[in-house]
Copies of this chain bind each other. A is one copy, B any other.
C-alpha cells in the first residue's frame, strides 16, 4: 500500500510521467529495452544487492566477482551481446556493482594501442576470459602528470626482452582496479629506455599472476591498497616490479615499435588516442554522475513528501517538509540540474559522434574544442552533481545519514568522480587554456570553433529585463550567462597579458591567474548548459504538459545559477540590484510551482525499488516500516559482543583492580 501522503502527490501531476520517461530514454523502444534488462537482472537472485550495506570489503569484492562471472552466463542466456541495444543498460541495472570493469579497459587499450598481430593474439584470450586483465598507469607518486611516471622498461637487445622495474617507492603502481586480487595480466605504462636513452611513456602487457594457481609471478609484488571511501567491491591494487622480463612483442606497438636491434620507430598518428581520452570523460557522465544524482533526488523528494515535521499553520497537522521553502530550495535546484545535465549529456554525445566521423575522415580540426568541452563539462557536472547528492543527503536529516537510506553510498561513490579521469581543477584549467587562446584569436579576427564564437560577439551592455516575468525568458537569462562568460574570460586574459608585459615570467603569470581562469571555464560551461537546455525545451512537443514542466525546470536551473552567484552578474552592472531582486522573486516563485510536480518529476526517472536500494526512497513511501525491518537484519543485532568480557564485569562490579 502506498503511503497516502505520497499517493496524493501523484494525483495532481501536471504532465504524463510515462511520456517524460520515454523522452529521457530517447524513445519508447529504448524504454522497453531498458525495462526488460532491469527486469531480467533484478529477478535474478545472483545479482541481488540486498544486505549490501551490512557487508565487509571482502564480502563486497567476492559478490562483485560472482556477479561478473554470472553476467557472462546471463548475457549468453538472454542473447545480449556487447554490440546489442541492451548492453548499455546492463551496468546501470547492476548499479555498477560488478567486477572486471578494468578487464574491458585492458581490452580497449590493446584494441587501440596494439598492432594487428597483438590484437589477434590477445583479444580472443581476453574475450574468452583465459586471462583477466587490468590497466596499470597511476603510481603512488604520479597521477595526472603522465610524463612524470617513474616505472622503467629497459630494452635488452641480447635477450630481445624488456626488463621492467619499480625504481623507487613512489613509482609503485597504485589504484588499478581488478589488480589487487583478481587480474592475471595488466598493461603497465613505463618509461622506455633503449641503449640508455629514454623514449618516454609506453604501454607493456605484463603477466602478474599464474594462470594455473593464481600465485604471483617471479619479480611481482602485488596486493590490495585497502579500504576506500567507497568501491569496496573493487580490488584496487598495487604492483611492484623487480627485474620482470617480458618479450619484445609485449610492447603495444600500433604507434611505435622497437626493432630487434633497438631501433625505435614511430608510425601513424596518436591523435586518435587523444580523442579516446576525451570520450571516456563524456561516457562516464551518464552512469557514474547523472544516475546517482537522479537516485538521490528520488530518495530525498519522496522522503520529503512523507516526512512531517513541525507546524506550518497553527492548529493544523504537522506539515510535509517538502512544503517548507527552505527544503524546496535545497532539493528542487538539484532536480533541475539533473534534467539540465541530462540534456547537456545528449548535446555532448552528439558532438562527439560528429567528431568521431570527422576523425575517421582524417579531419582532426574538432579535437581542441572537443577536448576543452569534455574536460570542462566532466569537471562542472561531477562537481555540481556531487554537491547535489550531498545536499539531498543532508536534507533528509538523521535518516539520510543512515546507510540504509542509500544516500551515503551514493555520495561517497560520486565524490570519486571529481578525482578520477582527470582531477577537476586541472581539467578546468585545460578548458581555460583553450578559452584564452580562442579569445585572443577571435579578437584578432581569426576563426574559432563554434562553441566559442560568442567570445567575439558584441552584445547588450545591460540586461534589458523590466520585471520579474522577463527573467522567465530564455533569451534574457542565456544572454546574462553569455555576458558573464565573456567578461570573466576577457578580464583574465587582460590580467595575464598585463602580468607578462610587466615582466612576470609566462608560467608564473599563468599560475597567478589560475583561480580566475577556473572561474572563467566554469562560466563557459554553465552558459552552454543553460543555452542547450533552453534550446532543447524549445524543440519539445507541447503535448501532455511535458514542454511546460521542462520550461519551468530550465528557468529554475538558470535562475538558481544566478541566485547562487549573484556577484558574477552584478559585478559590472549587467544585472542591476533592482533586477537581481526580480531574479530572486522569480526564482522563489518557481520553487512553489515546481514543488507541485516534484514527486512526478522523480517518478519519471523510473528507478525500481531494488535499484534505489533505499529505505527512504521506495515507490510506496513506507519509510518507517522499511527502516525498522532493515535494521533488524543488521549483523549488529545480536547480543552485545562486549557483554561477557566488559559489560558484565563492570555492572557486577567484578572488574579486576577497579
Contact = CB atoms under 8 A, between A and B. Distances in A.
A560 B287 CA distance: 35
A518 interface: yes
Given A65-B647, A226-B636, A145 B419 contact: no
Contact of A425 (B172, B313, B326, B425): B326
A397 interface: yes
A502 interface: no
A640 B325 contact: no
A76 interface: yes
Given A169-B624, A403-B228, A235 B325 contact: no
A contact residues, range: 35 or more
Contacts of A651: 129-132, 184, 211, 214
Contact of A567 (B169, B514, B565): B565
A431 to B, nearest CB: 13
A226 B401 contact: no
B425 A214 contact: no
B412 A398 contact: no
Contacts of A645: 66
Which residue of A226, A313, A415, A651 has the most chain B CB atoms within 10 A of its CB atom?
A: A226
Contacts of A182: 640, 642, 647
B140 A512 contact: no
Contacts of A380: none
A650 interface: yes
Given A419-B394, A566-B571, A642-B62, A401 B228 contact: yes
Contacts of A226: 53-54, 402-404, 630-631, 633-634, 636-637
Contacts of A451: none
Contact of A631 (B223, B229, B515): B223
A310 B567 contact: no
Contacts of A443: none
B214 A643 contact: yes
B148 A309 contact: yes
A158 interface: no
A390 B58 CA distance: 27
Nearest to A635: B58
A426 to B, nearest CB: 8
A179 to B, nearest CB: 11
A203 to B, nearest CB: 20
Contacts of A390: 390
A56 interface: yes
Interface string A80-106: 000000000000000000000000000
A73 B636 contact: no
A325 B512 contact: yes
A535 B394 CA distance: 34
Interface stretch (A252-260, A541-549, A572-580, A596-604): A572-580
Nearest to A411: B229
A170 interface: yes
A181 B651 CA distance: 14
Nearest to A565: B567
Contacts of A169: 624-625, 628
A239 B181 CA distance: 42
Contacts of A309: 142-145, 148
A227 interface: yes
Given A308-B141, A326-B515, A650-B129, A314 B58 contact: no
Interface string A182-220: 101000000000000000000000000001001000000
Interface in A599-656: 624-625, 627-628, 630-637, 639-643, 645-651, 653, 655
A309 to B, nearest CB: 5
Interface of A: 53-54, 56-58, 61-62, 65-66, 69, 72-73, 76, 128-132, 138, 140-145, 148, 169-170, 172, 174-175, 180-182, 184, 211, 214, 223-229, 235, 238, 307-314, 318, 323-327, 329-330, 390, 394, 397-398, 400-404, 408, 412, 415-416, 418-420, 423, 425, 429, 505, 507-508, 511-516, 518, 565-573, 577, 580, 584, 588, 624-625, 627-628, 630-637, 639-643, 645-651, 653, 655, 657-658
16 contacts: A53-B227, A57-B635, A76-B658, A129-B650, A148-B310, A180-B637, A223-B637, A224-B636, A228-B403, A324-B514, A325-B515, A397-B423, A398-B419, A412-B412, A565-B567, A567-B568
Given A62-B646, A145-B310, A226-B631, 17 more contacts: A58-B641, A62-B642, A66-B645, A66-B646, A72-B658, A73-B655, A73-B657, A172-B624, A174-B398, A182-B640, A223-B632, A238-B628, A325-B511, A326-B515, A390-B390, A567-B569, A571-B577
